[in-house]
Chains A and B, each alone.
Chain A
Amino acid sequence: MFVLTFAAGWIAWRLVSTAAGSLAGALAALAALAALAAAPARRALVVLPLTRILAAALPLGLPAIASNRFGGFMPAVIIGVSGIALSPPLGILRGPGRQSALVVINITSVACVEIIRGVPLILWLFTASPLSNLFLPPGTKADPILRVVIMVTLFASAYLAGVIRGGPAALPKGECEAAAALGRDGWKSMRPVILPQAPKAAIPGIVSTFIGLFKDTTLVMVIGLLDPVGLANSIRANAARTGIYRERFILIGLPFLLFCRFMSRYSQDLEKKLATDRRQEGPHP
């Protein structure tokens, strides 16, 4: 089940990251976030179709589980995958926002990044509930998982904004000068010269942000969701299982280790695939 969920997340991530370059991707993700915030819409648009598809694919007749009863790796994977899929478009929007000549946009995006990034995630998780009451229409009962997903996404995208901004900055200055000398300076050199080369430079940073995000999902324990660590506490509390502790930690650590290893492995492959300088093919004799 794990593998299936993760594979689905991986596909989603690929789709999103290929679409991420376009503004459309970002807007779609924002629209999706907004739509998901309303519970009935969410039920109609996402939950029911997904359940049907899953039920058709795997006719096990499993009962539907409400999100407030999620526990173990389920919230970790759902929050992690959603955060990973939703944060890049936001991060991409914020990168150029920071360099915008429009003072309002510039100050807003700098402030957003600095405030969100400068406060520990755990604090954001605590404030997620009062904050969501402020921003969502009254009477909306925001789902705890959804609240966490929104917070984690905002948090990760603040980090991503910095990382993504670093991509174009990593390009040698000479190439920009050459483009300028040929008549395409500044933003006009973006499309043919900078954008095709930026992803490769940004990927290691993006993936380490993702790995951090995935592991940070264990923090949901503090707002009462049962993440793997929280779940293990109930085992510790059980008198029948006193003395069993090594197994608990290995069982929790190992899946995280595997997921993160998979992500870093995938990022290495992606970097190779996106390598644009073709130096590894060796010089011409």
Chain B
Amino acid sequence: MTASDPVTARPGSNTPGVSDAVAIEIRGLNKWFGQFHVLRDIDLTVCRGERIVICGPSGSGKSTLIRCINALEEHQKGRIVVDGIALTSELKNIDKVRSEVGMVFQHFNLFPHLTILENCTLAPIWVRKIPRREAEETAMHFLTKVKIPEQAGKYPGQLSGGQQQRVAIARALCMRPKIMLFDEPTSALDPEMIKEVLDTMIELAEEGMTMLVVTHEMGFARKVANRVIFMDQGRIVEQNEPEAFFSKPQSERTKLFLSQILRGH
């Protein structure tokens, strides 16, 4: 256990691009699925501009943790404050938080009946009430950024997995979120498509986006993350800067996990 590690106390404070302003604060978070205790006493502070990679074996609660941050999962105990807004059962707050937080899913979850452009303009038009023209310009801007402006008129089913995931990133960015959550964004992709998605995410990180990424892409973690968090059985077992995390893992559980996941790398 390294919960009292100095790195945790002031996360990423000496890393360039990371401010002291708190983006997400989680205190004593507990969640149950029926009898199953998925998240146990999670404490986590994320600063603005921080890039955090969360890893851990399946069922360790890492996806559930980031899904709690935009209230896709309800938590039963503890406190989550996102950009100064406390996540309570109050719907207004949930809506506010969701408009600040973008999310990218493992299975893209694009709307198959809408074109790529319409996928990107749906939320700005319906939620932000932005005029269609303006929303389309924004959408094209972000589609250009993820390098698929030429696919704007196509439907998700006509795109490759990697392209679809880049659309999903653009769709989230169109809401101009302050924080981006990635839930295993490359796990459903063929190996040759993983790179194009990771490249997009690296670019986003370089621009200073606050990012929480659940992934097993350790190369991405080394390159981009300020902090790597290892979770097991609903707890944060260990967290550290990537270099220290990979070279000097503290707990036996982390060592075992890293030896399994890094085999062949």
Contacts and interface: CB of A to CB of B under 8 A. Distances in A.
Contacts of A279: 112, 157-158
Given A177-B109, A183-B175, A184-B127, A278 B122 contact: no
Contact of A181 (B70, B111, B151, B159): B70
B196 to A, nearest CB: 14
Contact of B123 (A172, A184, A191): A184
Contact of B111 (A175, A180, A281): A175
B127 A178 contact: no
A276 B98 contact: no
A180 B109 CA distance: 11
Given A183-B123, A197-B113, A284-B163, A178 B98 contact: no
Contact of B127 (A172, A183, A193): A183
Contact of B126 (A192, A282, A283): A192
Interface string B34-54: 000000000000000000000
Contacts of A193: 111, 122
Given A180-B72, A182-B122, A182-B171, A175 B109 contact: yes
A101 to B, nearest CB: 14
Contact of B95 (A183, A192, A278, A281): A183
A224 interface: no
A278 B103 contact: no
| Dominant SS among interface residues on chain B | mixed
A192 B118 CA distance: 10
Nearest to B100: A183
A281 B127 contact: no
Given A182-B123, A192-B122, A284 B159 contact: yes
Most buried by A among B70, B109, B122: B109
Most buried by B among A172, A184, A188: A184
Contacts of A185: 94, 98
A29 B31 CA distance: 49
A177 B155 CA distance: 19
A174 interface: yes
Nearest to A186: B91
Contact of A284 (B103, B107, B154, B172): B154
A174 B110 CA distance: 9
Given A183-B123, A183-B127, A192-B122, A177 B72 contact: yes
B160 A284 contact: yes
B64 interface: no
Contacts of B112: 175, 197, 276-279
Contacts of B107: 174
A255 interface: no
Interface string B135-162: 0000000000000000100111111100
Nearest to B71: A180
Contacts of A182: 98, 122-123, 127, 171-172, 175
Most buried by A among B99, B101, B105: B105
B180 to A, nearest CB: 11
Contacts of A172: 109
A24 B26 CA distance: 48
A174 B107 CA distance: 8
Contacts of A177: 72, 105, 109
A233 to B, nearest CB: 51
B227 to A, nearest CB: 23
B72 A181 contact: yes
6 contacts: A178-B109, A182-B123, A183-B95, A183-B98, A183-B127, A192-B111
Interface of A: 172, 174-175, 177-185, 188, 191-193, 196-197, 276-279, 281-284
Given A183-B99, A277-B157, 12 more contacts: A174-B107, A174-B109, A178-B168, A181-B102, A182-B122, A183-B175, A191-B126, A197-B112, A277-B113, A277-B155, A281-B157, A283-B158
